[in-house]
A and B are shown apart, each in its own frame.
Chain A
Amino acid sequence: MSSTTTGLIFIVSLLVALVAVYRPFGDYMYRVFTSARHWRVERGMYRLVGVDPDGEQSWGVYARSVLAFSAVSVLFLYGFQRLQNHLWLSLGFPSVEPGQAWNTAVSFVTNTNWQSYSGESTMGHLVQMAGLAVQNFVSAAVGIGVAVALVRGFTRSRTDQLGNFWVDLVRICLRILLPVAVVGAVVFIAGGMVQNLSAGQDVHTLAGAAQHITGGPVASQEIIKEFGTNGGGFYNANSAHPFENPTSWTNWLQIFLILAVGFSLPRAFGRVVRDNRQGVAIAVVMAVLAIGSVLTVNALEVAHHGTVPQAVGAATEGTETRFGVPQSATFASATTLTSTGAVDSFHDSYTALGGAVPLANMMLGEVAPGGTGSGLYGILVLAVITVFVAGLMVGRTPEYLGKKISAREVKFASLYFLTTPTLVLVGAAAAMSSASTRASMLNTGPHGLSEVLYAYTSAGNNNGSAFAGLGVNTPWYNTTLGLVMLLGRFLPIVFVLGLAGSLARQNPTPASAGTLGTHQPLFVGMVVGVVLILIALTYLPALALGPLAEGL
C-alpha cells in the first residue's frame, strides 16, 4: 500500500469513528449537563467546598466563579513548581525559575500547555501528576462548563440563571473526563506507554554509550493531555517520544481523543436547544473546516515540489519515521484545530505553506472543532455574527435559536472576536520591534517571522504547540506569552458568559417562514465563509510576510 493510501485510510477511519461517537457521546454529555441527580461523591464535594448544588448563578457570578477558581489554580500551580525540590518524587530537580513557573502555571490553567521547559529535565513526577495533570482535567472542564452556560443562555428565557459553575465543573470531571481517562490510560499502557514512578535507569547501549531511560506516570497524563485538548507533553518531544506515543495505532487513538469532545459537543448542544438539526449544522461547519485543513496539510506535505521532498516522496524532515508524513500531517492539523498543541512532528520543519496551515488553524480561533468547550462557544459566537449579517439580509432583526441578536449581543460577540487578534498581532509586532527579543529567533527572514507569529498565535488561542526555532525561555517571552495566554483565555470567557446572560434574559421569538433557517446548508456555508473571510482579512498582512513570502 502506498503511503497516500494508508494516509487516506487513516483520515477516513478517524472520520468514521468520530461520526460513530457523535450521537452516543453527545447524548451522554447532554444527560450529564441536564441531570437533576447528584452522585453521593459529588454531594460530598459540594459540602466540602460549601456550595448549594441546586442553586444557580447569574452570568456575573458564574464568571466570577470561573475566574476565582482559575486564579487559585494559578497560584497553587506556581507554588507547587517553586517548591518542588522540597516535595516527594522531585527526582532531584531544583525549584522552577519564577518566570518559567509563572508561564507554566498560566499555561496549564488556561488549557494552553505552552511549554517553555522540557518535562523530563524540569518537572518531578509529583508536579506532573498532582499539579499539571490536575489542571489538564479542570481546565478542560472549565471550558466545557462555559460552553454549557452559553447553550443554557439560548434555551432559557426571562432569567439571569445560567447554571452552577461548581456543579458543572465537578460533573464534567467526574462523569465525563475521569471515566474515559481511566479506561484510556489502561489502553495506552497496553499499547506500550510508560506508567511508573521510577526515576529512570541508566543503561549502556550496545555501542557502549551511556543512556538514561526515563520513567514516570506517562500514560495517565497522556490520556487527559489529548482528551482534554491540553497538549502539554510529559516529555519535551511530546507525542513524538516513543514512551508517549509508541505506535501508529496509539497515534490514531490520540488524534481521535483530541477531536472526540469537540465534535460531540454540538450533539449535546442540539439536544439542549431541542433541535438536533442545529447541532448537526454546527458539527458540519466544524467538519468542513477540519477536513479542508487536514487535506491541505497532507497535500502540501506529501506533494511538495521541492527537490528533497520530490526525491524522498514527501516532506519528511521533522517527522517520526514510525508515523510517516500523512499521519504526522493529520496530527498537526488536529492538534491546531483544537486547543491541544501536542505534536508528533515538528511544525517548524514543514514546508512553508504546509506550516502555514496549522498557523491558520489556530487563527480561526480553534473552532473546528476547537478545545473542549472553547470550540463550541467559539463557533457559536461566530454563528451569532453570521446570523447578524445574514439575518439582516432576510429583512428581520436577526434571530438565532429564537433569540434576537441586537446591540448587546453584538457587543459581546464583537469583543470576543476582537480579543485574540489583538493579543496575537500586538504581541507579535512588539516582539518583532526590538532587537533584543528578535535575538531569540533561530532563523532569519520570513521563517523567523513565522516562528514569532506562531508563538503568539499559539498562546493567544490557548493552543500551546510551538513552531520551535524560537528560544522562549527568556523573561520577555515567559512574561508576555503568559499574559497573552491569560487574557486570551479569560477575556473571551467573560464575554461569552456576558452573551449568555443577555440571551437568557430574552423571551424567545417563535420561528416562522420568515426566520433564517440556521440548520440549512446555506447557513452552514455562510458560517464557514464568515470564519474564513474574517480570519483571512485579519491575519493576511502578517501571513504574507511570514509563510506566504517564504512559500510563494
Chain B
Amino acid sequence: MSATTIDAFPAARPPAGPGGPRRVAGGLLDPAQLLRSTPDALRKLNPVMLWRNPVMFIVEVGSVFTTVLAVLHPSVFAWLTTLWLWLTVLFANLAEAVAEGRGKAQAETLRRAKHDAMARRLASWVPGADRAIEEEPVPAAELQLGDIVVVEAGQTIPGDGDVIDGIASVDESAITGESAPVIRESGGDRSAVTGGTRVLSDRIIVKITQKPGESFIDRMIALVEGANRQKTPNEIALNILLAALTIIFLLAVATLQPLAIYSKAQNPAAPNTEALTGNGVTGIVLVSLLVCLIPTTIGALLSAIGIAGMDRLVQRNVLAMSGRAVEAAGDVNTLLLDKTGTITLGNRQASEFLPVDGIPAEQLADAAQLSSLADETPEGRSVVVYAKTAYGLRERQPGELGLATWVAFSAQTRMSGVDISEDGTGTRSVRKGAAAAVMKWVRDNGGRPTDGIGTLVDGISASGGTPLVVAEHLAGRPARALGVIHLKDVVKTGMRERFEEMRRMGIHTVMITGDNPLTAKAIAEEAGVDDFLAEAKPEDKMALITREQEGGKLVAMTGDGTNDAPALAQADVGVAMNTGTSAAKEAGNMVDLDSDPTKLIEIVEIGKQLLITRGALTTFSIANDIAKYFAIIPAVFAAVYPGLDTLNIMRLHSPVSAILSAVVFNALVIVALIPLALRGVRYTPSSAATMLRRNLLVYGIGGIVAPFIGIKLIDLIVQFVPGIS
C-alpha cells in the first residue's frame, strides 16, 4: 500500500507547471513504437478485421479498386494515388496498433508475473486445520473459483482472492509500483490479495475469487486490445454518425458521375484529362474524392482514442472493468468522497494547546507530551509531534524518566498518562484524554474542574474539533485540569482548489463522514465541498446515491469495506481500493491499485478527456472537408467549366497535383494526429462554455484552415515529382 497518500497530488500525476493550469496528460509517443507496431498494422489490413471499422473498410475497398485501375492503366499519378490510399489504411491501423501496443505492454507484464506461477492447492482445507493437509501443485492459470491455495514467504500469489487464514506482508510492487510491503490478513477489510504479487513473510491461505481468465488483469487486457474491445455507448453513437456521413458522401460521389458525364458531353471540345473523360470522372479520382470526404481522420483514430483512454487509466494504476465506466466518469454529476483519507489526512491531529487558569502554555505542553507518550494512537502521536514542533519539546522515551508507570490509552478508560515518582515531591500523575473521562479523574482525585475548561471544550466541539483535556495530580494536592488540546482534521493541501475546479466543471461534491453534523459542517466549509452527509451509515450512502440517480444524476464514489459493496455496485462509477475486500472490488467497476481515494477526481478528468478528444477530432475531420472540395472540384471540372477554376483558391499547380496533394494530406493528417489521439486533447477543468469555445476555435476553425495550408504545401512539393505536372 502506498503509505496513505499525504499529498493530494500523487506521484503518478505530472507536476503542475508553476502557476500554469494543471492538465491531464498521457505518455509520449515513442517513434520506435511506430516501427514495432508496423507488423501489427499490416496484419490489420485483413478485411475481416477491418470490417469492424466501416470508414476504413471503405477506404480499403477503394484502394483495391484503384490498384486494379492502376494496373490496367498505369501512370505515375495512378500509382502514387493508389500508394497513398493504401498508406491511409495503413496509418489508421498503425494508430490502433500503437495504442494497443502500449496498453498491452503494460498489461502483459502483469499477466506474465502471474501465469508463470505454480499454485499449491489444498484439497480439503477446513478452518482450523493444521499444516498436515495434502497439497497438489497446479499451474496458476488453471485455478478455479473457490480453490484454496497456500502461499509462503518468497512465493507469488497465483490469483485474485481473499486471505482466509494467516497474516503476511506482501510486495505488491508488480501491480502498484509501490515498493513498501503491505500487510494482508484474514478477516476485516485487508484480506484481498491480487494475483502476481509476492508474499515476503509468513504464510497465508488464500481462497481464489476469480474465474480462470477473468481476473482484473485479464479484463484490463481485454479493454486495451482492439479486437476484443467492447465499444462504449458514446463510441457506438459516434460510429452511427460517422456511418451516416460516410453514406452521404458515398451518395454525393456516386451521383456525381451521371452529372459529370452529362457536363462533359455538353462540352465535347474540352480535352480528356486524367480526372475527367467522356466516361465521366475516372475511377481513381472518384475514389480519391470519396476517401478525402468521408471522415477518415476520426475513423482512423477512434479506436486508438478509446484504447489510449484505458491506457491512461492503467498508467495511473487504475484498472477499469469496462470502457462504459470510464465514459460514465466523464458524465458524473455527483462525487461522493469519504472524508477520512480523501479530504482530510487519515486522522485528527493536535493543532493547539489551550491552557486554563493562568497556567503557562509550556507547562501544559510538557504535561500533554508526557501523558501522550504511552498513547500509540495517531491522535496521541500527533500531540507529541505538535509539542515538539510548536514548543520545541524533545520526545522523551519511555524508560528515560525515573520510576514511571505508564498508563496506555484504551478504549475503556479513554485516557492515557503516566505516574512519575520523583524524589521528595511524591508521585506526579498526568492524564490526557476525552473530556468527560479526564474530568471524572480530576474529581475522583479531589479536584474541582473550573468553568474555563468547560467553555474551551464546548468551543472546540462547536468548531468541529475534538477537545482532549490534560490534567495533573501532584501527591497531596487536589488534581487540577491544566488545559485543553485541540484536535482537528487537517484538510489535505490543494483540496479547496480541486473542489473549486469540480464546481466549475459542474460536479457537485459531497463529503461522507461518520462525524456529527457540526464537525462535518466545519470540515466541509474548510475543504470547500458543496455538501456533506454526516453520521453516515452505509445505508445512508446507498440512499443518497439512489436519490441522486432518481434525479437523473450520475454518481461516483470510492469505497473499500465490504459494507461499501452495495453502494459501490449502485454508483455509476464505483472505485474500489485495492486494499479493500474482494466484495468491494467485485462490486465496483474500477479498482485503484494505489488505494488513493483522491484518484476519483483524476478518473473523472480522464473520462472527460476521452470524450473531448473524440468530439474534437470529429469536428476537425469534418471541417477538413471544405478545403478538400476546394482542391478537388476545380481540379476535376475546370477543364469543362473554366469558371470553376475560381474555386481553386489555393492556386494548386495542376489538376493531378491538386488531387494527389489532397490524398496525401488526408493520409498524413492521420499520422500527425496519432500523438494527440494517444495523449488526449488538452484538458483544463473549466465551464462547458469556455471549453467549447476553446475546442471549437482550435479544432473547428483550425480544422477548416489547416488543410488549406497543408494541401498547398504538399502541392509545392508534389508538383516536382516527374509525371505529375
A residues neighboring B (CB under 8 Å): 385, 388-397, 402, 405-407, 409-411, 414-415, 417-418, 421-422, 425-426, 428-430, 432-433, 438, 444-446, 449, 507-510, 512-517, 520, 522-523, 526, 529, 533, 536-542, 544-546, 548-552
Contact = CB atoms under 8 A, between A and B. Distances in A.
A512 B554 CA distance: 12
B91 interface: no
B259 interface: yes
A232 to B, nearest CB: 29
Contact of B633 (A405, A425, A540): A540
Given A390-B615, A549-B641, 18 more contacts: A385-B241, A389-B619, A393-B615, A394-B612, A394-B688, A395-B683, A395-B691, A397-B331, A432-B262, A433-B261, A509-B333, A513-B505, A515-B688, A537-B249, A537-B252, A537-B622, A540-B633, A541-B259
Contacts of A507: 550, 552
B507 interface: yes
Contacts of A390: 615, 692, 696
Contacts of B699: 393
Nearest to B507: A514
B699 to A, nearest CB: 7
B506 interface: yes
- Interface of A, secondary structure class, is helix
Contacts of B696: 390, 393, 522, 526
B506 A512 contact: yes
B330 interface: yes
B153 interface: no
Nearest to B251: A425
A446 B611 contact: no
A541 B633 contact: yes
Nearest to A546: B259
B615 A389 contact: yes
Contacts of B629: 536-537, 540-541
B240 A410 contact: yes
A274 to B, nearest CB: 15
Contact of A395 (B251, B553, B612, B689): B612
B433 interface: no
B557 interface: no
A396 B611 contact: yes
A541 B637 CA distance: 10
A433 B611 contact: no
A552 B637 CA distance: 12
Interface string B569-581: 0000000000000
B643 interface: yes
- Interface of B, secondary structure class, is helix
Contacts of B647: 544, 548, 552
B378 interface: no
Interface stretch (B50-58, B230-238, B444-452): B230-238
Given A517-B688, A533-B626, A538-B252, A545 B240 contact: no
Ranked 3 nearest A-B pairs via Cβ = A392-B615, A514-B506, A395-B608
B237 A388 contact: yes
B252 A449 contact: no
Contacts of A537: 248-249, 252, 293, 622, 625-626, 629
Given A433-B258, A549-B644, A510 B691 contact: no
B255 A548 contact: no
B255 A428 contact: yes
Nearest to B632: A541
Contacts of B236: 406-407
Contacts of A523: 692
B250 to A, nearest CB: 10
Contacts of A415: 244
Given A432-B259, A537-B293, A522 B689 contact: yes
A517 B691 CA distance: 11
A508 B554 CA distance: 11
B109 interface: no
Contacts of B331: 396-397
A397 B693 CA distance: 18
B695 interface: yes
Contacts of B504: 513
A540 B625 CA distance: 11
A287 B333 CA distance: 35
A409 B241 CA distance: 10
A410 B551 CA distance: 24
Contact of A545 (B234, B243, B263): B263
Contacts of B248: 417-418, 421, 537-538
Interface residues of B, number: 77
B191 interface: no
A529 B641 CA distance: 29
B115 interface: no
B285 to A, nearest CB: 12
Contacts of A515: 506, 688
A542 B259 contact: yes
A175 to B, nearest CB: 34
B238 to A, nearest CB: 7
A429 B237 contact: no
A385 B615 CA distance: 12
Given A385-B241, A388-B241, A406-B234, A517 B689 contact: yes
21 contacts: A385-B241, A389-B619, A396-B331, A396-B608, A397-B327, A406-B234, A406-B236, A414-B241, A415-B244, A509-B553, A512-B508, A515-B506, A522-B696, A526-B696, A533-B622, A540-B252, A541-B256, A542-B252, A546-B259, A549-B263, A552-B643
Interface in B290-336: 293, 327, 330-331, 333
Most interface-central of A514, A520, A546, A550 (chain B CB within 10 A) = A514
A392 B505 CA distance: 14
Nearest to B505: A514
Contacts of B611: 392, 395-397
Contact of B259 (A410, A421, A429, A526): A429
B511 to A, nearest CB: 18
Contacts of A529: 700
Contacts of A395: 330, 505, 607-609, 611-612, 683, 691
A541 B257 CA distance: 10
Contacts of A430: 258
Most interface-central of A430, A526, A529, A541 (chain B CB within 10 A) = A541
A526 B689 CA distance: 12
Contacts of B507: 512, 514
Contacts of A394: 612, 615, 688, 691-692, 695
A438 B266 CA distance: 12
Nearest to A404: B331
B253 interface: yes
A542 B289 CA distance: 14
A201 B506 CA distance: 74
Contacts of B553: 509-510
B610 to A, nearest CB: 8
A460 to B, nearest CB: 12
B637 to A, nearest CB: 6
A533 to B, nearest CB: 7
A552 to B, nearest CB: 4
Nearest to B266: A445
Given A417-B244, A538-B252, A545 B260 contact: yes
B598 interface: no
Nearest to B643: A552
Contacts of B249: 537-538
B688 A514 contact: yes
B33 interface: no
A418 B244 CA distance: 7
A406 B233 contact: yes
Nearest to B700: A529
Nearest to A417: B244
A516 B259 contact: no
A402 B507 CA distance: 15
Most interface-central of A394, A406, A516, A546 (chain B CB within 10 A) = A394
A396 B330 contact: yes
